[in-house]
Amino acid sequence: MKKYKVAIVGATGAVGREMLRCIFQFNFPFESLKLLASARSAGKVIEFEGQEFVVEELTENSFEGVDVAFWSAGGSISEKYMPYAVKAGCINIDNTSHFRMDPEVPLVVPEVNAEALKDHKGIIANPNCTTIIMASALNRLNEYFDIERIVVSTYQAVSGAGVAGMEELYRQSQEVLDGKEPVAKTLPCASDKKHYPIAFNCIPQVDKFDLDNAFTKEEMKMVNETKKIFNKDIKVNATCVRVPVLRGHSESVYIETKKPLDMDKVFELLSDSHGVDLYDDIENQIYPMATLFIGDELVHVGRVRKDLDNDHGLSMWIVSDQLMKGAAYNSVDIGLKMIEMGLL
């Protein structure tokens, strides 16, 4: 079996660390592994599975001889350096939002639209975490019942805002428990003007606002990326909310389908969906929760129930470690799927 020269860009970040772990855990066949980050992190040693990796500075020349690179260092880094990687012949799987809506760039959840990989021109985009998780859970239901629209409210963990988000929640929680005022520096959005405490709070803002339509960019990612991944005009109404959870996004999802729902078939499809764990037994209080599934790559689905008034309406509760299926694992899985399809 061919082995690949692999790079991770943004290797010291919350997602980058998980990318390294996924490459090992899911046996991505690498010959060499180059960890790239900013000059600030260069020289840092990362140990994993008994091996030591020295972080190198990302430059225009980092991709000579690299077969495939996994990117998660921010949209501006992808924008600036990825053209050099493409020119060097490297295939790039990008976890940032920069290229997602580019019509030349496939936006892929492998179990949903792997076929789109065939049209790649050196860049494949990994969708937003909230979108991946929802698309993965809904894929087989859409194939069978034809989903027309979605109303979703999210419960997003602070690790979606990186290591800084996690540190902030830990620190603020202790401040509140000690009777102090919690100090906010990062959330809801590091680059926005105001910051609010997330400890013991819910913040109805993830990413910045689009002032034209009053939705946030995070919400518009769910709207636009869902349409692109399913390659159809599914209507999406999203409300994205940050909650004081360290890791694992939850989503309250309501869908309407063109075909009337048959609940036996719904459960059969969810039981037989690649990457989906149907975790639903209310009689025994079994439903997914964020703290149950840290570090696993599945999308867990529970609280599945038909709308009381509409034979075409279905509610469910979806939980997944957004650093895994929502980011690192989906990226690595795209790479594995490309090998399987002979595209890498």
Q: Which stretch binds its own copies (CB under 8 A): 18-26, 44-52, 282-290, 332-340?
A: 282-290
Supply the minimum distance, in Å, between the C-beta of residue 162 and its own copies: 17
Q: Which stretch binds its own copies (CB under 8 A): 34-42, 73-81, 122-130, 309-317?
A: 309-317
Q: How many CB atoms lie within 10 A of CB 260?
A: 11
Instruction: Pick the binder of its own copies from 51, 61, 191, 284 (CB under 8 A).
Output: 284
Positions annotated as catalytic residues are 129, 249
Query: Which run of H or of E encompasses 144?
Result: helix 129-145
Supply the minimum distance, in Å, between the C-beta of residue 158 and its own copies: 9
d(CA 24, CA 31): 12
Q: Which stretch binds its own copies (CB under 8 A): 119-127, 130-138, 306-314, 332-340?
A: 306-314
Instruction: Pick the binder of its own copies from 7, 203, 269, 327 (CB under 8 A).
Output: 203
Instruction: Pick the binder of its own copies from 24, 48, 239, 337 (CB under 8 A).
Output: 239
Binding mask 150-179 for its own copies (x = CB under 8 A): -x-x-x-------------xx--xx--x--
Query: Which run of H or of E encompasses 93?
Result: strand 91-94
| Choice between 26 and 146, CB closer to its own copies | 146
Cα-Cα-Cα-Cα torsion 227, 231, 235, 239, nearest 10 degrees, comes to -30
Closest CA to 152 of 176, 174, 128, 172: 128
d(CA 18, CA 333): 13
Q: Which stretch binds its own copies (CB under 8 A): 99-107, 264-272, 285-293, 332-340?
A: 285-293
- Position 149 contacts its own copies (CB under 8 A): yes
Q: Which residues on adjacent β-strands are paired with residue 156?
A: 242
Q: How many CB atoms lie within 10 A of CB 101?
A: 15
14 labelled binding-site residue: yes
How many residues belong to the site for its own copies (CB under 8 A)? 59
Q: Report helix, strand or coil for 114.
A: helix
49: region left, alpha or beta (phi > 0 left; psi from -120 to 50 alpha): left
Instruction: Pick the binder of its own copies from 121, 185, 235, 259 (CB under 8 A).
Output: 235
- Position 191 contacts its own copies (CB under 8 A): no
- Sign of torsion, CA 191 249 155 110? positive
| Choice between 25 and 153, CB closer to its own copies | 153
- Position 310 contacts its own copies (CB under 8 A): yes
CA angle 10/230/330 to nearest 5° reads 25
Residue positions in the annotated binding site for phosphate? 100
